[in-house]
Structure 1
Amino acid sequence: MTLFKEINSLLFGLFLLVMTSLVYFQFTQARDFMSQQMESDLNNTMTSLGLMLKPHLETGDIASAETLVNVIFEGGFYQKVTLKWLVDNKEQTWSNPVVIKGVPQWFIDLELFEVQKKERLITSGWMQLATLEIEGHPALGYRELWQVMNDTLMILSLMFILCILIVRVRLNRILKPLHQIARQAKTIAQCKFGQDIDVPKTRELKDVVNAINAMSGQLKHVFSTLDGEIDALKADKLLDRVAGLPNRQYLSAQMHNWLNEPGYGGLILAKFDCLEEVYAKYGYQGRDEIIKALAGRMRLELPEITDSIIARIANTEFAFLLTRAERHQMELYLQTLIRLINQEISKAGCPPNSQFALGVSQRVANMTVADLMSQSDNALQQARRDNKVSQWLDTGQMQKYSREQWRTKLLEAINNRQFSFQWQAISGVNRQEIIQREIYCRLTIDGQAVRAFEFMPFVELLALGSQLDRCLLESIEQQKLLKSTDQPVAINLTHDSLLDADFVLWLSRFLKKSPDVGQMLFEIPESAVLAAFGRCRYLAETVRSVGAKVGIDQCGRQLGSLDYLQKLQPDYIKLDQSFVFYEKSNQSLELCRALINVARGLNIKVIITGIEDQLQLEHFACLKADGYQGYISTPEDVLPLTEEDKVL
C-alpha cells in the first residue's frame, strides 16, 4: 500500500470514528430528551384530565366524562386510555394502534422507547370515584428522533465528504515531493540521472530532497568522470594531437574490423610535401596551423559525401577510409578532397595541384589490411612519379553480378526464404558456460550458399535490409530454430531496419505473436546509435515492451562519448574487436578497463569479442567481463527441428 493510501485510510478511519461518536451521542441525547418530553406530557395530561373528570364523576355524568376523554384522546399522542368507575366497577377503554407516518418500519421495530404508563386514582374528599390509566403513544418520539438523525447524518456526511476532499488535495500537495523522490530513486536505480527535484517547504522533506539531489548529482558526476576518462584515454592513445584526427593505430584497427565484416568502399592515402615547405618557412607552428585548418575542413565537408574515417598517420601523410562508398561516391569524395587541399595550401602560399599526391584503391573480396594499404601506397607512389595529383589503382577484379542482377537474385532468395543458419556460442568468463548465441545467415543463390560477407554489402547498397530482416525473422520462427537451444539468441539488425518506422511497428506485432520472444536478443551497432539515437531508442523501447532484450554491438569503436549507454540502458554490450587488436599491438588495457567500469556502473553486462585463443582469453580475464566471443569457438550449423521434434 502506498504512503498516500495509508495516510488517507488512517484519516478516513479517524473521521469515521469521530462521526460515529457524534452520531451516537446525538442519538442517545435525542432519545433521552424525547423520552423525558413524552413522560412530562403524559404527567400533565394525567393531571389535567383527572381534574376535568372529577366534577362529572361526582355527579355520575357518564356521557360528559366519555366526551371529555374522547377529546383528550383524539387530540394527543396516546395509545390507550382506561377509565374504571369504582361505584359499579364499570370499565371503559380507548385504544389507538401504533401507526407512525414518515418513519420506516425497521426504525420502529428497534423499540427505542419504553412503554410509558400512568395510573391515577380520582377521589372526592375521602370518596374514591374512579381510576384513570393512560398509556403514551411513542409516535412523537419516533418521528422527532428520525428527523433529528436524518438531519444530523446529512450534515455530518457533507462535512465528511468535504473534509476528505480537502485532506486528499492537501495530502497530494504535501506528498508530491515524496512521489518525486520515489521516481528519482527509481531512475537512479536504473542509472538514469535526470533534473534535480524542487526543494519543498516542509523541513523534513526538504532534507530528504536535498540528500537525493546530492546523491544524484554525485552519481552523475561519477559517470561523467568515467566517460571523461575514456575520452581522455582515447585522445591520448588513438588521436593525433595536432590535427585532432584518429592516428595510425586507430585506423589500422578500424581497417581490420572493416575488412573482417561485410562492406564496400576503399582507401585513399595522401602525401603532403607542401607541409615540409611550410615548415621550412614558418616553423612547426605554421605547419600545425595549416594541418588544423585542413583537418577541420575535412571533418566538416567530407563525411557529408559518404561515411569515412579520416586519420593522420604520419607528419605529412593522411589516410581516408571510405567504409560505405561506391565507385561514383569515391570519385566525388576524391574531387572534393582535392578542392579542399588546394584551397588550404593556397592560403599558405603554395601553388595549387602541386606538392601533394593521392593514391586510391578499392576494396575487393578476400582483401587484408596489408593488401589494401599496399595497393593505395602503390597508387600514391605512382602519382608522385608521374607528377600527378591522384592515381587510382584498378585491381581489375570483375564483379560476380551487376547491381541489377544482385537486386533480382537477392529479392528472389529473400522472398523465397532461401536461408541457412549458423550460430556461435558466447561463453561466460567465470563459469565457462554458454550464456547466449549469435545467429548468422547465408542465402542460397544460383544453388550455392552465399555468406553474409558477400551479399550484405549489396543488401545495404540496394536498401533491402528491412525486407531481409523481416523474412529472416519469419524464417527463424517458421523453422522453430530457437527451440533448438535453451540459451538466448542474438540477432543483428541492419541499418535500414533501425531507421524504418514501419519495420519497428511490424517487429512489435511479430514479437507479440512469437512464443519465443523471451529468447530473442536484438543487437544494434554503435554507429547506428550515434547516427540516429532517437530511432534506436524507439526500437529498443518497442522490443523491451514485449519481453525481448537489446544489446549494443561494436561498443567503443567510435571516438564519441559513451553517454548514450546511460540514456539507452541496453541489457549488454559487446566490446569492439579493436580492443583485442590494440592488445596485440602491445597497448595497455586501460581503455578497455575504463569502458567496462562504465558499463558495470550502469548494470550493463559486457562481452569481449575477437578472442582468438586461450592465452588471449587469460590476458583479458583480469577485466572481469561477463562473457567472451571470437574465433576461439567456431560457428556451428543450426538444423531446423524435424516434424517429430516439433510434435514433441
Structure 2
Amino acid sequence: MTLYRKLFIGMVAVFILLSSSAFIIELLTKKAHLAQQQQVEITNTLNSIGLALAPYINNDDPIAAESVINAVFDGSHYSSVELRYLQSEHKLVRQYPVQPQKAPHWLTQLNLFEPITADQVITSGWQQLAVIQITSHPGIAYDQFWQTLQRMSLVFAVMFILGSSAIAYIVKRSLKPLHAITQKVNKISNHEFDKPLDSPNTADLIPVVNGINRMATQLESSFRAQVEEAQKFRNKAYLDPVSKLGNRALFMAQLDHWVADQTPGGIAILKLGFINELYHQKAYQVADEKVLKIADTIRSLTSASVDQIVLNPTTARIAKDEIGFIFPKINETDLKLIVKALLAKPLLSQLIANDQDQNHYLFGVAHSDGQQTRAEILSLVDGALAKAKSRPDKPYGFISTTQTQYLFGKKQWQTIVEQAIRSGDVVFRFQHAKTMQGNTFHREVYSKIQRSGAEYHASEYLFALEQLQATWEYDKHVINAMIEQLASESQPTPIAINLSLSTVLEPRFIQWIKEVLPAHAAIAGQLHFELPEISFIQHAAITTLLCEAIVGSGARYGIDQYGRNFKSLAYINEFKPFYVKLDFLYTHNLDDENQRYTLTALSRTAYNLDITTIAARVETQRQLDFLSENFIDIYQGFIIDSLNFEPQIA
C-alpha cells in the first residue's frame, strides 16, 4: 500500500469517526428533545382538557363532556382517552388508531419512543369529580425523527464527499515532493538522468531533494566517465590516431572474423607512395594532414552505397602509407563494381592522382571464396599490389580465387530463397547461450537452405538480400518457424533471432511485428530479437519504433555486434536493451593488453546499466576464465557446450 493511500485512509477514518460521533450525538439529542416535547404536550393537553370539562361534569352533563372530548381529540396524535366519573363509576373511552405517516416501518421497530400515559383529577373546588387519562402515540415523534435523520444524512454525506476530496487534495499536494523524489530515484536506478528536482516548499524535504540531486549528478558523471573510459580504451586499441580510421589490430581482427565465417569476400590495400616520401622528407605534419584528408574522403565514400550495394566495409590504416579495406560477404562482380566506383569518384582521384609519377599510388584488390587462411588472403592482396605495380596502365591490380559454383547474382539468390521458403527447404539449428552454471539463457537460431542436393549457408545469400532490401521476407519466415517451434514445446526455452539491418529499417516489417506478436502473446515472451549495433547509431528513429513494437508485444531485444562501431556508447542508456552481445573483435585475442582493457570497459558499461552481456565464440578455457572475471554473464561457444547443436528441423 502506498504512503498516499495509507495517509488518505487514515485521515478519512478519523474524519468518519468524528463525523459519526457528531451524527450520533445529534440524533440522541433530537430523540431526547422529541421525548421531552411529547411529555410537555401531554401535560398541557391534560391541563387544558381538565379546565374545559370541569363545568360540564359538575353540572352532570355527560353529553356536553363527550362533545368536548370529541372536539379536542378527534384527529389528534393520541392513541386513547379515558374519562372516569368518580361519583357514578361511569367511563368514557375513546381509541384513536394512529400510524406514522413518513417514518419507515423498520424505524418504528427500533422502539426509540414509548407511548406516554398520564392522568389528572378534575375537581370543582375541593370536590373530585372525575379522572381523565391520556395515552400519547409516538408516531409524530417517529416522523419528526425520520425527517431529522434524512436531513442529517444528506448533510453528512455532502460533508463526507467534500471532506474526503479536501483530504485527498491536501495529502496529494503534501506528498507531491515525495512523489517527485520517488520518480527521480526510479529514473536514477534505470540510469536516466534528467533535470534536477525543484526545491520543495516542505522544509523537511529540502535536504532530501538536495541530496538526491547531488547523487544523481555524481552518478551521471560516473556513468559518463565510464563510457568515455570505454571509448578511450577502444580508440587506443583499434583506432589510428592520425587518420581516425581503424588501425592494423582492428584490420587483423576483422580479417580473422571473416576467415572464421568462411564466406566469400574481398580485401583491398591502397598504397600511397607520396605519403611515404613525405615521411622520408620529415614533412610529418604535411603527411599527417594528407592522410587525414584522404581518410575523411574514404570514410564518406564508403558510408554511401554503390549501385544499391551498401558498403560499410572495414577500413583501417595498416601502415603509414597503406589503407586496407575488407568487404565481407560480397561476390567478385560486386567487388569490382565497388572498386571502380570508388576510384572514379573525383574527390578521391584528385587526392591520390599525380601525373608526374604513375606509381604515385597502388591499389591491390583480391577476392576470396572463403576457404583461405589469413596468411593466404594477405598473400593474395600482396600479389594484387605487385600486379598493380607491373601494370601501371590499369587503375588497380586484381586477383581472385573464387570457384565457379554458387556464382549467383543478387536476383538469382532472391529467387533461390523465395523458392526455398515456398518449398520448405529452409532448415534451422540452434546454439545455446549459457551461464557459467550451465543454465540456458536462450538458443540462437541459425538457418541454411538445402535443395537439389546443394547446401547454401545464410551468409551466402543474406548479403544479396540485404542489397535488394528483401531480408525482411526471409526474417518473417524464420520468425514464423520459431513461433511454431515454441508452440510445439511443452517447456520452451527462449529463442534468439538475428535481424538484418534492412529488416530493421523496413516499415512493413515493423507493422507485421505489431500484428503477429500480439496474436501469439503466450509465446512472444520467449522470443529474443538481435538487432545490429549500427541500426541504433545511424538509424535511431526507426529502430526505436521497432524496439517499441517488440517490447510492447511482450518480446525482448538485444544488441548484436556490441562495440563494433567507433561511436559513443551512450545509446545503450537510451535504448536499455535486454542484453548486448560483444563483437568478436573483443573476445578473440586476449593477449593484447589494450584489448583486454577495452573488453572490460565495454562489459562494465553494460553491467552498470543492469544489461546482460553475452560473449560469443568462446572456444578456450582461458577465454572463459578471463571473461567470467570481467562482467560477462552469458557464454556461447565450444568451451561452454562443445557447440551442442540440436537436431535440425525443417
1:262–1:456 CA contact under 8 A, matched in 2: no
1:361 aligns with one of 366, 383, 396: 366
C-alpha contact (below 8 Å) 1:477/1:514 kept by paired residues? no
User: How much has 1:332 moved relative to structure 2?
Assistant: 5.6
Q: Percent identity?
A: 28
Q: 1:443-476 CA deviation, whole Å, 9 max, x = no partner?
A: 1132222222323323323333222222223334
Contact 1:122 1:131 in 2 (8 A): yes
Q: What is residue 458 of structure 2 aligned with on the other side?
A: 452
Give the secondary-structure state (helix, strand or coil) at the position aligned to 1:290.
helix
Q: Give the whole-Å Cα distance in 1 for the aligned partners of 2:521 and 2:649.
A: 17
1:571 matched to 2:599? The reply is no
The CA distance in 1 between the partners of 2:492 and 2:225, in whole Å, is: 39
Deviation at 1:307, TM superposition (A): 1.4
Counterpart of 1:462?
Answer: 468
Give 1:92-491 correspondences, 5 Å limit: 92-261=92-261, 266-276=266-276, 278=278, 283-305=283-305, 306-323=311-328, 326-327=334-335, 330-331=338-339, 333-335=341-343, 339-344=346-351, 355-387=360-392, 390-395=395-400, 397=402, 398=404, 400-403=406-409, 404-429=411-436, 431=437, 435-478=441-484, 483=489, 487-491=493-497
Q: Does the residue aligned with 1:463 lie in a helix, a strand or coil?
A: coil
Residue range with higher mean Cα deviation, 595-604 or 518-527: 518-527
Q: Deviations over 1:189-213 (max 9, x none)?
A: 3344444344332223333333333
Which has the higher mean CA deviation after the structures are superposed, 53-62 or 528-537? 528-537
CA drift at 1:165: 2.0
Query: 8 Å contact 1:263–1:456 — kept in the other structure?
Result: no
Aligned partner of 1:550 among 542, 548, 557: 557
Q: Please identify, of 276-285 and 462-471, the stretch whose mean Cα deviation from structure 2 is larger.
A: 276-285
Find 1:506's aligned residue among 502, 506, 512. 512
Whether 1:601 aligns to 2:623 is no
Question: Residue type of the partner of 2:116?
Answer: Q
Using the TM superposition, give the Cα deviation of residue 486 of structure 1 relative to its aligned residue in structure 2, in angstroms.
6.4
SS in 2 for 1:313: strand
3-state secondary structure, aligned to 2:400: coil
Superposition deviation, residue 352 in structure 1: 9.9
Measure how far apart 1:225 and its partner are. 1.2
Aligned to 2:44: 44
**Do the aligned residues in 2 keep the contact of 1:491 with 1:522 (CA within 8 Å)?**
yes
Note if contact 1:298-1:340 (Cα within 8 Å) is conserved in structure 2.
no
Q: Shift of residue 537 of structure 1?
A: 4.0
Q: Within 2, Cα distance between the matches of 1:372 and 1:11?
A: 80
Which whole-Å deviations, capped at 9, do the CAs of 1:8-47 have from their partners, x for residues lacking one?
2222212211221121111111121222222222212211
Q: Deviations over 1:493-523 (max 9, x none)?
A: 2223322333344345544437655543332
Using the TM superposition, give the Cα deviation of residue 133 of structure 1 relative to its aligned residue in structure 2, in angstroms. 1.0
Matches within 5 A, 1:19-58: 19-58=19-58
2:539 paired residue number: 532
**Could you say what secondary structure the match of 1:567 adopts?**
helix
Q: What amino acid sits opposite 2:585 in the alignment?
A: S
CA distance in 2, matches of 1:277, 1:541: 54
Greater alpha carbon shift after TM alignment, 356-365 vs 116-125: 356-365
Bigger mean CA offset, 407-416 vs 187-196: 187-196
CA drift of 1:586 comes to 6.2
Q: Which residue of 2 aligns with 1:646?
A: none
Q: CA deviation at 1:132?
A: 1.0
CA distance in 2, matches of 1:243, 1:401: 36
* Amino acid in the other structure paired with 2:478: L
CA contact (8 A) 1:342 1:353 kept: no
Match of 1:630 among 624, 628, 637: 637
Q: Secondary structure at the match of 2:283?
A: helix
Q: Structure 1: which 5+ runs fail to align?
A: 643-648
Distance 2:340 2:88 in 1: 141
CA distance in 1, matches of 2:372, 2:483: 35
Q: Which amino acid is the alignment partner of residue 316 of structure 2?
A: A
Query: Quick one: distance in 2 between partners of 1:110 and 1:524?
Result: 76
Q: Is the 8 A contact 2:329 2:460 kept in 1?
A: no
Contact 1:479/1:640 (<8 A) preserved: no
Deviation at 1:279, TM superposition (A): 5.4
CA contact (8 A) 1:307 1:324 kept: no
1:90 CA drift (Å): 0.8
| Structure 1 SS opposite 2:97 | coil
Secondary structure, aligned partner of 2:149? helix
Deviation track 1:581-623 (CA, whole Å, cap 9, x = no partner) reads: 4425565511111122112212222232233333443454443
Measured in 2, the distance between the counterparts of 1:636 and 1:206 equals: 59
Question: 2:308 is matched with which residue?
Answer: none
Distance 1:56 1:514, change over 3 A: closer
Asked if 1:6 is matched to 2:6, the reply is yes
Paired amino acid for 1:230: A
Q: Which amino acid aligns with 1:502?
A: R
Contact 1:267-1:320 at 8 Å conserved across structures? yes
CA contact (8 A) 2:433 2:636 kept: yes
Do the aligned partners of residues 197 and 171 (structure 1) sit closer, same or farther apart at CA in structure 2, a change above 3 Å counting?
same
- Return the offset for 1:75: 6.3
For 1:288 and 1:565, how far apart are their aligned partners in 2?
34
SS state of the match for residue 455, structure 1? Answer: helix
266-275 or 110-119: which moved more? 266-275
- The alpha carbon displacement at 1:562 in A equals 1.9
Change (3 A) 1:515 1:245: same
Aligned to 1:639: 647
Q: Which runs of 5+ in 2 are unaligned?
A: 306-310
After superposition, what is the alpha-carbon deviation per residue over 1:407-428, rounded to whole angstroms, capped at 9, x for unaligned?
2222111222212333334343
Q: Distance in 1 between matches of 2:244 and 2:123?
A: 130
The number of equivalent residue pairs is 638
Contact 2:298–2:348, Cα closer than 8 Å, also in 1:
no
Query: Mean alpha-carbon deviation: is it higher for 255-264 or for 168-177?
Result: 255-264
Closer, same or farther in 2 for the Cα pair 1:12/1:432, shift >3 Å?
A: closer
Give 1:393 deviation, angstroms: 0.3
Contact 1:263 1:457 in 2 (8 A): no
Please identify, of 152-161 and 520-529, the stretch whose mean Cα deviation from structure 2 is larger.
Answer: 520-529
> Cα offset for 1:539?
3.5
8 Å CA contact 1:492–1:523 kept in 2: the answer is yes
**Structure 2 CA distance for aligned equivalents of residues 426 and 190 of structure 1:** 25
When structure 1 is superposed on structure 2, of 502-511 and 152-161 the one drifting more is: 502-511
Give the TM-score taking structure 2 as reference length: 0.88
C-alpha contact (below 8 Å) 1:417/1:471 kept by paired residues: no
Give, in whole Å, the separation in 2 of the partners of 1:345 and 1:156. 92
SS in 1 for 2:617: coil
SS in 2 for 1:444: strand
